[in-house]
Structure 1
Amino acid sequence: MGKSRKKRTSPVAALMMFLFFVVIVGGVFLFAIARPTATDEGIDVNFVLHVTPTPVPTPTPTPEPTPTPTPVPTPTPTPVPTPTPVPTPTPTPVPTPTPAHVAVELPYLIQINKKAQIVTVYTLDEDGMYTIPVKHMICSSGYRHGKLPDGLYPLKTKYEWKLMLDGTYAKYASRITGYFLLHSVPYESKNSNDIFLYKYRQLGENVSSGCVRLLCKDAKWIQDNCPEGTPVRVVTGEEMPELKQQLLDAIPELVKGYGWDPSDPDPENPIHYAEPDATPEPTRVPWVTPNPDQYDWSKEVKRD
C-alpha cells in the first residue's frame, strides 16, 4: 500500500490560528491584571495598567572649580619715626681771665754758637725767660773764636748795605758790638748780583774775620723781626753735628750764570728760592715781658 500523503495546511488557516492564539493570550493577560469591583449592578472590572517608568539617570553634577583666593597683600607697617635725641647741653666754659696784654718789645734772643756754626733764636717762656727755640740758622763766624768775645750784647744799628773794612760789601747788616756784625755773605760790589760765590759755599765754616755771615734770608729775618736792643748772646758752645747737617743740606744751590744769593727775598732777585718760613709767632705768651734778671750785658768791644 502506498503511504497516504499528509494534507498541507493552507496559509489562510495558519493566519487564523495565530490570530486566535493572540486573542486568547491577550484575554488571559487582561483578566489577570484586572481589578474587579462588586457593585449592585454587578461586577465591575477595572483594568489597571502598571507601567514601570524607565529610571532617569541622576545627572552627575559638574564640579565647580574652586576659586583661587585673591592674595591679600600684607600691609606695610607705617614706620614710627625715631625720636630725635635731645642733645645734652654742653655747659659754656667759663673763660680763663687773660692777663692784660703788654706789647713785647724784645720778643727774641739771638744766640751765636761759634763752635757749631749755628745761630739759634729763642723766644720767651711764661716766666719771661728766653728758653724756647724757634729758629736755627747756619753761619760762618771768625776763624779765631776769640775774635768775637763771648758775652751778651744788645743789637744795634742796622744797614741795608754796609761797606766792610776789607773793601767788600755786606747786605742786611746788624751790628752786635764794635766792628762785629750779623750780615749776608760778602759781595764784591754794592750789587746783589755780585756775591762771592766761593764764600757762599763756605757757610758753616769758621772763615770770617770776626763777623757772622748768614744766608740773605736769615740776615733779612733778623732785621725785620729783631729790633734794636734785642739781646745777642755769643758762646763758644759745643758741636751740634746732626742739626748742622740739616742746615747745610737746606742751603739753596747757586744758579750758574747768576751772582745772586738764591735765598735773597729782594723782589728783583730772578732766582729767588722761596721756601715757607716755619718760624712761629714771636711768643706764645704775648703778655709776658722779658725778665730783667737774665740781662748781664758785656762790655762793648771798641772800634779800633
Structure 2
Amino acid sequence: MKFLSRLFRNMKNMRADNVKQNFNPTNYVNSNNFSSETDYFIWVDLKNFKVNIFNGSTNNWTLVHSYLCTIGKKTTPTPKGTYTIGIKGLYFGVNKGYKCWYYTQFKGNYLFHSIIYNLDGSIRDGRLKMALSDGCIRLTKINAKWIWDNIPRGTKVVIK
C-alpha cells in the first residue's frame, strides 16, 4: 500500500511539473487583457521569482525579457496589485553604507533595482530567486539597468 501511495504522489508531482514547464507567460498575459499606456508591460511572477517584460499592446504582447529576481520576505512582502512605473534614479543607500543601482519606482518606496553592493563596488548580497528583500524587487545590475534605460514612465506593472 505504501508503494502505491508513493507511486501516485510521484505521478501527481510529475503532472504538476509538466504543467509548470508548459506554462507560457505570453499566453497568460495575452489571455488576461492586460493593457499599458506605453509599448511595454511588466508582469512580476512572485511564485517563480520572475520579472517578465513584454513589448506590444493589449492581447498582442511579446515577451522580450524574463529576469530572475528577489522579492520581499514574509514580514515585508512585495505588494501585489497593478501599478505604473514612476520615478527613476541612478542609485540609493550610500548614507546607509551600500549602493543599489538603477532604481525604477513602481509604487511609493517600492522599486525595481540591482542587488546590493558595498560602497567599494563588491557585492554585499547578490542572491536571486529568494524572498528576502524589504519589498523591492532586486535584479542583477545589468537587468536593473535595462529596465532603467528602456521602460518608460507610465508602463503598467502587474504583480501576482
Task: Tell me the TM-score normalised to structure 1 length.
Answer: 0.38
Matches within 5 A, 1:191-270: 191=120, 193-196=121-124, 199-200=125-126, 202-235=127-160
- Given candidates 91, 115, 119, the residue that maps to 1:161 is 91
Partner in structure 2 of residue 122 of structure 1: 54
Contact 2:76 2:133 in 1 (8 A): no
Q: Is the 8 A contact 1:122 1:130 kept in 2?
A: no
Cα-Cα RMSD = 2.4
Q: Which is strand-richer, 1 or 2?
A: 2
Change (3 A) 1:122 1:223: same
Give 1:134 deviation, angstroms.
Answer: 1.9
> How many residues end up aligned between the 2 structures?
125
Equivalent residue letter for 2:69:
C
Displacement after TM superposition at 1:165 (Å):
8.9
Q: For the Cα contact (< 8 Å) 2:78–2:137, is it kept in 1? A: no
Larger relative contact order, structure 1 or 2 (CA cutoff 8 Å, min sep 6): 2
Whichever of the two has the greater Rg, that structure is 1
Unaligned runs of 5+ in 1: 1-103, 236-304
> Does structure 1 residue 181 correspond to structure 2 residue 106?
no
Deviation, 1:161, is 1.1
Residue deviations 1:77-129 (CA, integer Å, cap 9, x gap): xxxxxxxxxxxxxxxxxxxxxxxxxxx9711111111111011011225xx33
State the TM-score, normalizing by the size of structure 2: 0.69
Distance in 1 (alpha carbons) for counterparts of 2:69 and 2:95: 20
The DSSP-based 3-state class of the residue aligned with 1:132 is strand
Q: Within 2, Cα distance between the matches of 1:217 and 1:204?
A: 16
Counterpart mapping for 1:80-119 below 5 A: 106-119=38-51
Kindly, what percent of the aligned residue pairs are identical? 29
C-alpha contact 1:114 1:145 (8 A) present in aligned 2 = no
